[in-house]
Amino acid sequence: MAFTRFIILVALIAASYAQFLDLDSFTIDSPSVIYDGEVFDVVFDVTFTPTGGAASIITNSHGSTRFMPVFTLSEDGETLDLDAYSTVELTSAQQTTALTDDDSVTWSNLEASLNLTDIECGDGSVYQYACVSIMAYTGVTWSGVDTSNSSMCSSFVCKAVADVAISALTITNPDDSVIGIGGGQAVDFDITISNPSGGDNVVGSDNWIVKFYLSDEETGGTEVASETISLSSSQETADINAGSTSTFSDLAVTLTLDDVTCDDFAYACSSVEPASAAYWTRPASPSDNYVCVSVTCGAAAIKTSLMVMLLTVIVSLLFNH
């Protein structure tokens, strides 16, 4: 008898929580990057499904204001941080969406104004996720509706801000920085990356994109034959604290210079930027993230050598006579 009563009690409890509102999907459309100290307009899409009678309960909860979506950051992808959150203003049509149990509803282009002016994201490892939760509107009750699955989180890093730049570029090959045109030119070089004081530390497992290219100007010139450099694992994961530098040695690239002329370049340059999965980003008004050094076009060097040889022959003939 006791066992039968227990089964009945379990059934009654289950029935009392048979109404659910499940959040099925959550996608952030923009922006692609957020960081502390700014206000961001976040645009996102959600899909949710009422089941077991939840549609009727929510519909009858209020005539015009039923839902309150909340957008927030999270450290672990499970716990919502209400220090970094924003509620979403729904349209009248969205607030009074016709609901049917087991039929999903999609709201696209929802907007949340995320104020991070008083939020500290540190080195980018603090807030790793963004979350959305669909709740009952303030003062409205969805009696009996289980909303334990009406929240969802997605990877979305609040990034560190670092005005990182290359402070030194040394070409170790070819000799005398003579760049040959008309084909492939192998170049070996070293760079020093600087992270000035006053910004955030750069940490992570995929930090850097380094490029090498030729240019017609030392600053602000046209990029010629730009190539992205393959970095070693230790270079990709190199951390640089604010106020520090790191040297990447023995970098290598082959430039394709089949259609390049000597008039196209007088400098070789290297630049650095955050990798797509990096925990850091550049500031809104960054410094130049590249440095250029003077190089010699190989064709010009050949012409000079021929001229020297010709003058040598002429001088020799004059002395012989």
12-56 confidence digits (pLDDT tens) = 344 455 799 999 999 999 999 999 999 999 999 999 999 999 999
The structure's pTM equals 0.79
DSSP SS3 for 109: strand
What does the pLDDT read at residue 80? 87
150-200 confidence digits (pLDDT tens) = 999 999 999 999 999 999 999 999 999 999 999 999 999 999 999 999 999
205-240 confidence digits (pLDDT tens) = 999 999 999 999 999 899 999 999 999 999 999 999
124-144 confidence digits (pLDDT tens) = 999 999 999 999 999 999 999
Give the sheet arrangement for strand 184-195, strand by strand: 165-173, 184-195, 244-256
Determine the number of helices (DSSP H) and then strands (DSSP E) in the chain: 5, 20
Q: Where exactly are the structural domains of the chain?
A: 16-160, 162-305
CATH of domain 162-305: 2.60.40
Q: Which fold has domain 16-160?
A: Immunoglobulin-like (2.60.40)
- Fold agreement between 16-160 and 162-305: yes
Contact 274, 243 (CB under 8 A): no
**What is 51-74 written as a DSSP string?**
ETTHHHHHHTT-SS--EEEEEEEE
According to DSSP, the β-strands at 178-179 and 223-228 are unpaired
pLDDT over threshold 60, residue 122: yes
